[in-house]
């Protein structure tokens, strides 16, 4: 029997158990092996990785320490008596071996794996092996099984709503925050749109990052229902909904790995939409040589998977393949993107027209889910709602209802990147611009990012500013600068 102690360490989604090297109750073997333990004493056994401590101030020989997540899961007070033993590997690890050998897994195998992830029987390493094994080869039927397992019947229900809409983008193009504009237009029109959004995974900013510059994005399902009832639209960080915990655990591992397979993105998006009770969905797949999806062929393949899975899961999905050849809008990074969005909603003359047009086009597709709207009228209606100022009013109501945030400051460390010759902008490398923005700190700090002053087709004179980098600290700024010096992501031709 050991005495439970809270160790105030956040190891993110890994449970850790700390034992003293001379632990009274368990002979720890100080070799170089990673050991998973089972802690007994709570309502159900808790799984955690063993770390060995040689400092009685952290944990003593008669104590068992648990880090933040493990302590919260065990849900016992400090000083409670607990026991510890070696954990058996979860049974579902055998399914991963089967997947590695090239087999198609059954729906019950996916549900076994996802259940073990949800109950923390999997370490981050185990989750990695699941993601890599299923990332090499997975059938549409398997994507569907995985998606259903992620939701596990746990979905929001919307009384008195026959249609609940949403829009999501597969990502990979900097800027491109159509979602917030679409939500404003659709809410103003009157269709319910509980827009679930995410923080950045590999980009400079996720929709949740950008909207959090304007309003709170963290609230639970009860509050979400109330917001939709009042305003028809809301933009929520999906991780704050209780139905999406397993998606959150998996995406945290994906973010750390930097390896995200298209099929996993699809599964995760559809699982989150299912969990939010969405019935009608527009999915945007931007295609471009430097975007995440590089060819129309690949986009078509993904469209078919999305259609296959949506049909099985009974979501009506309209998949739209769009131009992802360069960044959309001028701002890249949360604060700059929020600025672009507000310019568009305010019908400002200097608002980025590409982002405006794309938002109207996609909002039109969402609006056409309404059976009362005549086919082909979506775009026109969306445009009328935007130009009349009704979209701005709707967004202001949403911001007010969700709780306005104090505006994050734009990074004060700036550098102007200039054209090294006169000519026409031939290409902007999405991947490179995103990389420079991430180095500048955008994924961590909302005020960091890149302001694109020239886009493809613009004529420039030598010395004209192409874009401006914003950073909040000198470390990030130095990283971004050294990356730019190597390759600034712009291609200028000499034609005039």
CA 315, chain centre distance (Å)? 20
Of the two residues 23 and 351, which places its CB atom closer to its own copies in the complex? 23
The least distance separating its own copies from the CB of residue 451, rounded to whole angstroms, comes to 22
Q: Which residue from 1, 22, 54, 387 is in contact with its own copies, where contact means CB under 8 A?
A: 54
Binding range to its own copies, per CB under 8 A, among 53-61, 262-270, 412-420, 423-431: 53-61
124 binds its own copies (CB under 8 A): yes
Give 138: exposed, middle or buried? Use CB within 10 Å, 0-12, 13-18, 19+: buried
Distance, in Å, from the CA atom of 38 to the CA atom of 365, rounded to the nearest integer, reads 51
Per-residue DSSP letter, 111: H
431 binds its own copies (CB under 8 A): no
Binding range to its own copies, per CB under 8 A, among 123-131, 168-176, 362-370, 378-386: 123-131
Binding range to its own copies, per CB under 8 A, among 22-30, 337-345, 382-390, 396-404: 22-30
Distance, in Å, from the CA atom of 222 to the CA atom of 312, rounded to the nearest integer, reads 28
Per-position b or e across 437-470, b if 16+ CB within 10 A of its CB: bbbbbbbebbbbbbbbebbeeeebeeeeebbbbb
Nearest to 490 by CA among 439, 415, 417: 417
Distance, in Å, from the CA atom of 243 to the CA atom of 196, rounded to the nearest integer, reads 12
Cross-strand bridge partners of residue 322: 286
User: 266: helix, coil or strand?
Assistant: helix
Q: How far is CA 197 from CA 97, 203, 408, in A?
A: 33, 13, 19
118 binds its own copies (CB under 8 A): no
Nearest to 90 by CA among 65, 66, 109: 109
55 binds its own copies (CB under 8 A): yes
312 binds its own copies (CB under 8 A): no
Of the two residues 11 and 396, which places its CB atom closer to its own copies in the complex? 11
The least distance separating its own copies from the CB of residue 91, rounded to whole angstroms, comes to 11
256 binds its own copies (CB under 8 A): yes
Of the two residues 186 and 302, which places its CB atom closer to its own copies in the complex? 302
Q: Which residue from 96, 293, 299, 385 is in contact with its own copies, where contact means CB under 8 A?
A: 96
The least distance separating its own copies from the CB of residue 96, rounded to whole angstroms, comes to 7
255 binds its own copies (CB under 8 A): yes
Q: How far is CA 396 from CA 128, 221, 231, 351, 389, in A?
A: 41, 21, 10, 18, 11
Q: Which residue from 13, 212, 267, 471 is in contact with its own copies, where contact means CB under 8 A?
A: 13
189 binds its own copies (CB under 8 A): no
Of the two residues 35 and 313, which places its CB atom closer to its own copies in the complex? 35
Starting at the edge strand found earlier in the chain, the sheet holding 316-323 runs 165-169, 280-287, 316-323
Q: In sequence order, which ranges of 78-163 are alpha helices (DSSP H)? A: 93-100, 107-118, 124-136, 140-151
Distance, in Å, from the CA atom of 267 to the CA atom of 150, rounded to the nearest integer, reads 9
Distance, in Å, from the CA atom of 303 to the CA atom of 299, rounded to the nearest integer, reads 6
User: Euclidean distance between the first and final Cα of the chain, in Å?
Assistant: 80
33 binds its own copies (CB under 8 A): yes
Q: Which residue from 75, 136, 387, 409 is in contact with its own copies, where contact means CB under 8 A?
A: 136
Of the two residues 59 and 165, which places its CB atom closer to its own copies in the complex? 59
The least distance separating its own copies from the CB of residue 374, rounded to whole angstroms, comes to 44
Binding range to its own copies, per CB under 8 A, among 2-10, 111-119, 323-331, 347-355: 2-10
Q: Which residues, 261 to 300, sit near its own copies by CB under 8 A?
A: 261
Distance, in Å, from the CA atom of 120 to the CA atom of 48, rounded to the nearest integer, reads 8
Q: Which residue from 284, 326, 429, 476 is in contact with its own copies, where contact means CB under 8 A?
A: 476
85 binds its own copies (CB under 8 A): yes
Q: Which residues bind its own copies (CB under 8 A)?
A: 7-13, 18, 21, 27, 29-36, 51-55, 57-58, 67-68, 83, 85-86, 88-89, 93, 96-97, 100-102, 123-126, 128-129, 131-133, 135-137, 199, 239, 248, 252-253, 255-259, 261, 439, 444-445, 473, 475-476, 479
């Amino acid at each position: 029997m050991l005495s439970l102690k809270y160790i105030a360490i956040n190891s993110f989604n890994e449970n850790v158990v700390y034992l003293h090297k001379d632990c009274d109750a368990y002979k720890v073997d100080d070799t170089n092996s990673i050991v998973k333990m089972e802690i007994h004493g709570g309502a159900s056994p808790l799984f955690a990785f063993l770390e060995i401590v040689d400092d009685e101030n952290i944990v003593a020989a008669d104590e068992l320490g648990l880090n933040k997540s493990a302590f919260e899961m065990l849900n016992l007070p400090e000083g409670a008596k607990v026991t510890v033993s070696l954990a058996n590997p979860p049974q579902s690890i055998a399914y991963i071996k089967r997947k590695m050998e090239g087999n198609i897994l059954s729906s019950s195998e996916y549900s076994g794996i996802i259940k073990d992830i949800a109950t923390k029987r999997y370490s981050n390493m185990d989750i990695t092996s699941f993601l890599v094994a299923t990332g090499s080869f997975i059938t549409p039927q398997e994507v569907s099984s995985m998606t259903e397992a992620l939701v596990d019947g746990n979905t929001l229900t919307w009384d008195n709503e026959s249609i609940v809409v949403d829009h999501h983008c597969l990502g990979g193009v900097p800027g491109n925050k159509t979602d917030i504009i679409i939500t404003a237009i659709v809410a103003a029109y009157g269709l319910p749109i509980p827009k679930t959004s995410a923080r950045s995974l590999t980009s400079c900013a996720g929709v949740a990052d950008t909207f959090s510059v304007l309003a709170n994005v963290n609230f639970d399902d009860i509050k979400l229902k109330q917001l939709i009832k009042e305003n028809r639209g809301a933009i929520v960080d999906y991780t704050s909904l209780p139905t999406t915990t397993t998606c959150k655990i998996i995406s945290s591992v994906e973010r750390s790995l930097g390896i995200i397979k298209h099929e996993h993105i699809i599964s995760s998006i559809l699982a989150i939409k299912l969990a939010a009770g969405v019935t009608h969905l527009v999915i945007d797949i931007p295609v471009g040589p430097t975007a995440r999806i590089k060819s129309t062929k690949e986009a078509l393949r993904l469209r078919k998977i999305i259609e296959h899975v949506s049909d099985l899961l009974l979501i009506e999905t309209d998949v739209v393949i769009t131009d992802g050849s360069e960044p959309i809008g001028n701002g890249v990074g949360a604060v700059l993107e929020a600025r672009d969005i507000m310019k568009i909603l305010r019908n400002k003359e200097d608002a980025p027209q590409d982002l405006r047009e794309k938002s109207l086009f996609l909002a039109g597709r969402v609006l056409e889910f309404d059976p009362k709207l005549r086919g082909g009228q979506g775009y026109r209606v969306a445009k009328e709602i935007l130009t009349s100022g009704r979209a701005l009013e709707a967004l202001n109501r949403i911001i007010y209802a969700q709780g306005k945030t104090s505006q994050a400051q734009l990074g004060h460390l700036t550098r102007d990147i200039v054209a090294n010759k006169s000519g026409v902008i031939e290409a902007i490398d999405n991947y490179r611009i995103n990389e420079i923005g991430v180095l500048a700190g955008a994924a961590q700090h909302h005020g960091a990012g890149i302001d694109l002053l020239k886009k493809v087709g613009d004529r420039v004179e030598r010395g004209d500013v192409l874009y401006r980098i914003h950073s909040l600290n000198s470390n990030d700024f130095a990283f971004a600068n050294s990356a730019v010096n190597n390759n600034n992501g712009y291609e200028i031709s000499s034609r005039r």
